[in-house]
Amino acid sequence: MTIPSETTAPLLQISALTKRFGGFTALDNVSVDIRPGERFGLIGPNGSGKTTLINCISGAFRTEVGTVTFRGEDITQMPAHVRTRRGIARSFQIPRPFRSMTVLENLMVALDFAVATDPLVSVAHRRETAMSILTGMGLAAKADASATTLSQVELRKMELARAMATRPKLLISDEAMAGLSSSEVDEVLDLLMSLAGHDITVIMIEHIMQAVMRFSERVMCLDAGRIIAIGKPSEVMANQRVQEAYLGT
């Protein structure tokens, strides 16, 4: 099922996407359009294919069936790093920092590679950029700390910061709030809110419902690799099958 696309041309267009691992079908004919600037929530029980879907968007997986189109360009066969340069950035369910680097260096990687490296842009200038991003995330103090010394919430923030450093058009946050205290959840949520909007589209995967409710303009629920509901948060929540999927009845 496809959503009747809105007036503006979609930023991300997924059509008839199917992903199999051996016999097991992780994504089954998934199609969805995401508008520029949209705040999009992705929910579903464990193993429903959420992470698989964003792996297919970010290029961690290649897909055999279906296409992924980003800003009018078919990126289905592109390797991940090219997609990143095209403007797709993500965080990971379990944070994946560059452990041997400082927080600042983590961002420098993004600035060195993702942003079309312009020799004229001096190292010093890149550092500034990185610092300003960190400041925006409230991580400035930790800039020279080793990534391994960060707390859970700081790791989450750093990953978002690193993602932002790639100057993304589309930011995918994969359970960035998992295992955080409620106050921390709000912190991160506000962060995502502030990022979204000004020409950055955000896809948020989340288990914490009220977070999704608060954040999303539109919510999609996956179950067993299929879209079982999509639309306004309230509608989706009300949906019979969604509740079944969650309550496992």
Per DSSP, the three-state class of 117 is coil
Give whichever of 124 and 183 is closer to other proteins, judged by the CB atom: 124
Are 169 and 84 a contacting pair, CB within 8 Å? no
Tell me how far, at minimum, the Cβ of 170 lies from other proteins, in Å.
12
Tell me how far, at minimum, the Cβ of 197 lies from other proteins, in Å.
23
Give whichever of 114 and 219 is closer to other proteins, judged by the CB atom: 114
Give whichever of 61 and 246 is closer to other proteins, judged by the CB atom: 61
CA 36 – CA 199 distance, rounded (Å): 7
Are 203 and 34 a contacting pair, CB within 8 Å? yes
Name the residue among 183, 79, 99 with its Cα closest to residue 145.
99
Are 49 and 26 a contacting pair, CB within 8 Å? yes
Match 């909007």 to its residue by tokens.
197
Give whichever of 73 and 113 is closer to other proteins, judged by the CB atom: 113
Which residues of the chain form contacts with other proteins (CB under 8 A)? Answer: 21-22, 58-61, 79-82, 84-85, 89-90, 92, 94, 96-101, 105, 108-110, 112-115, 117, 162-163, 166
Tell me how far, at minimum, the Cβ of 9 lies from other proteins, in Å.
25
Match 């079982």 to its residue by tokens.
228
